[in-house]
């Protein structure tokens, strides 16, 4: 397989990698759903959720839907990468990060499911662990690879940050993983949005960082395969097991490609979802009033009476528009 990878073009590699990743994802997700059902690993509304949010959750009959579907996502990504991605130190560091965030999400989900009174790891504990992983990723990149500590944005500017670049790595990785986690609240919302973002990054990477184009294509294809079961009405949820891992991958690819700033547009829906929570918390602490009916933003529209499919579809449309703007800026203007 490795000999074959060195002889075919990048475009062919992207195509076959995506096709394989989709096939693997669709194939293995079904038996994993059966496994999760047998183990009664079913979703439940957060203990911290408002009464209305719990009511909406129960009304949609989501309490019987198995969670921890991230098992299928991560396994599919690993298998597809083993088949189609050339080994490198950057890939190994990324694999460590993905598995670390996967393990963190898995443990968090496991705590929730095995202790009905628990809402999983505390936000503080989760943040500390995410920070530790992000710092290790940054140190690994700086010491084990020739990764530049210059904060650049294509040919527009370049600033040598030295070890201060760890703050950029931390902000992007922790921010991206948490944003994906917060977005994962409606059927197909996170999987579809991240799939669009990763496909956008794949197209950009093809011209600027071909090695990462294959990884981005695999992530997008795996999520589209998972969306086959995760779209409304969902047969499985990814849980923190999946959302933290895919959020990490998206952020890690952006760091390697040095397009951290472009994440504002490429992953615009994730950014807005995360900002809605931050603004809601800060505003409430200061005024004891709320900006939104409920945060993250998708719940605000649920409270306004929008149908779940309507919210998800419109968020996908916005993701596609932001993807088009990002591609136009990078491929046409620059």
pLDDT digits (tens, 9 = 90+) for 28-40: 999 999 999 998 8
276 part of a folded domain: no
Q: In this predicted structure, what is the pLDDT of residue 52?
A: 65
Output the pLDDT for position 5. 57
Q: Between these two residues, 53 and 330, which has the higher pLDDT value?
A: 330
Indicate whether 62 pLDDT > 90.
Answer: no
* Mean pLDDT, rounded, for 296-324: 96
pLDDT at 9: 86
Percentage of the chain lying above the pLDDT 70 cut: 91
> For 323-326, which contacts have Cβ atoms below 8 Å and span 24 or more sequence positions?
323/196, 323/197, 323/199, 323/200, 323/266, 325/265, 326/200, 326/204, 326/262, 326/265, 326/266
Helices 10-38 and 189-208: angle between axes, nearest 10 degrees: 160
Return the structure tokens found at 326.
């990002």
State how many domains the chain has.
1
CB atoms within 10 A of CB 111: 14
In a domain, 167, yes or no: yes
Residue 207, in any domain of the structure: yes
Q: Encode pLDDT of 8-17 as tens digits.
A: 788 999 999 9
- What is the pLDDT confidence band of residue 146, given thresholds at 50, 70 and 90? very high
Confidence of residue 114 (pLDDT cuts 50, 70, 90): confident
Spatial CA neighbour of 69 closest among 47, 104, 43? 43
The confidence score (pLDDT) of residue 49 equals 59
pLDDT at 60: 62
Whether the per-residue pLDDT at 332 is higher than 90: the answer is no
Residue 185 included in any domain: yes
**Cis preceding-peptide flag for 294 (omega within 30 of 0):** no
Give me 52's structure tokens.
Answer: 């209305």
Of residues 143 and 6, more confidently modeled: 143
160, β-bridge pairs: 150
> What average pLDDT does the structure give for the chain?
92
Per-residue pLDDT for 263 more than 60? yes
Expressed in angstroms, the distance from the first to the final Cα of the chain is 36
Please state the pTM of the whole predicted model.
0.94
Rounded percentage of the chain residues whose pLDDT exceeds 90: 81
Query: Does 302 reside within a domain?
Result: no
Q: Categorize the per-residue pLDDT at 63 as very low, low, confident or very high, splitting at 50, 70 and 90.
A: confident
Per-residue confidence (pLDDT) for residue 214, from 0 to 100 = 96
Q: Are strands 157-160 and 150-153 parallel, antiparallel or unpaired?
A: antiparallel
The pLDDT, as a whole number, for residue 45 is 56
Predicted confidence band at 115 (pLDDT cuts at 50, 70, 90)? confident
| Statement: residue 47 has pLDDT above 60 | no
Task: With respect to residue 244, please indicate whether it lies within any of the assigned structural domains.
Answer: yes
Helix (H, G, I), strand (E, B) or coil at 9: coil
Q: Is 26 inside a domain boundary?
A: yes
**Residue 290 covered by a domain:** no
Q: Is the pLDDT of residue 155 over 80?
A: no
Per-residue pLDDT averaged across 255-271, rounded? Answer: 96
Q: For position 6, what pLDDT does the model report?
A: 53
Please give the pLDDT value at position 8: 73
Considering only residues 99 and 119, tell me which one the structure prediction assigns the higher pLDDT.
99
Average pLDDT rounded to a whole number, residues 88-106: 97
- Confidence band for 2, pLDDT divided at 50, 70 and 90: low
Domain hosting residue 179, numbered range: 2-258
């Amino acid at each position: 397989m490795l000999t074959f990878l060195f002889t075919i073009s990048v475009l062919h590699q992207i195509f076959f990698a995506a096709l394989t990743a989709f096939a693997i994802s669709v194939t293995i997700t079904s038996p994993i759903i059966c496994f999760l059902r047998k183990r009664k690993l079913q979703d439940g509304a957060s203990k911290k959720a408002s009464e209305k949010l719990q009511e909406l959750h129960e009304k949609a009959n989501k309490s019987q839907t198995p969670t921890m579907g991230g098992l299928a996502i991560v396994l599919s990504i690993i298998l597809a990468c083993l088949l189609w991605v050339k080994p490198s130190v950057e890939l190994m560091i990324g694999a460590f990060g993905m598995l670390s965030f996967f393990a963190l999400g898995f443990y968090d989900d496991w705590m929730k499911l095995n202790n009905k009174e628990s809402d999983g790891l505390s936000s503080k504990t989760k943040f500390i662990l995410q920070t530790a992983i992000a710092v290790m990723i940054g140190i690994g990149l700086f010491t084990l690879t020739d990764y530049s500590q210059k904060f650049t944005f294509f040919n527009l500017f370049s600033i040598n940050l030295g070890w201060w670049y760890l703050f950029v790595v931390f902000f992007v990785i922790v921010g991206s993983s948490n944003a994906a986690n917060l977005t994962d609240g409606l059927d197909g919302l996170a999987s579809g949005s991240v799939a669009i973002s990763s496909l956008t990054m794949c197209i950009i990477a093809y011209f600027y960082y071909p090695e990462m184009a294959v990884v981005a294509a695999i992530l997008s294809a795996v999520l589209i395969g998972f969306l086959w079961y995760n779209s409304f009405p969902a047969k499985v949820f990814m849980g923190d097991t999946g959302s933290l891992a895919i959020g990490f991958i998206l952020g890690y690819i952006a760091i390697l490609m040095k397009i951290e700033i472009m994440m504002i547009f490429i992953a615009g829906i994730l950014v807005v979802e995360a900002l809605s929570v931050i603004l809601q918390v800060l505003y409430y602490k200061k005024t004891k009033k709320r900006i939104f009916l409920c945060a993250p933003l998708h719940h605000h529209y649920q409270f306004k009476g929008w149908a779940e499919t309507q919210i998800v579809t419109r968020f996908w449309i916005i993701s596609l528009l932001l993807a088009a703007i990002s591609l136009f800026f990078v491929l046409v203007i620059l």
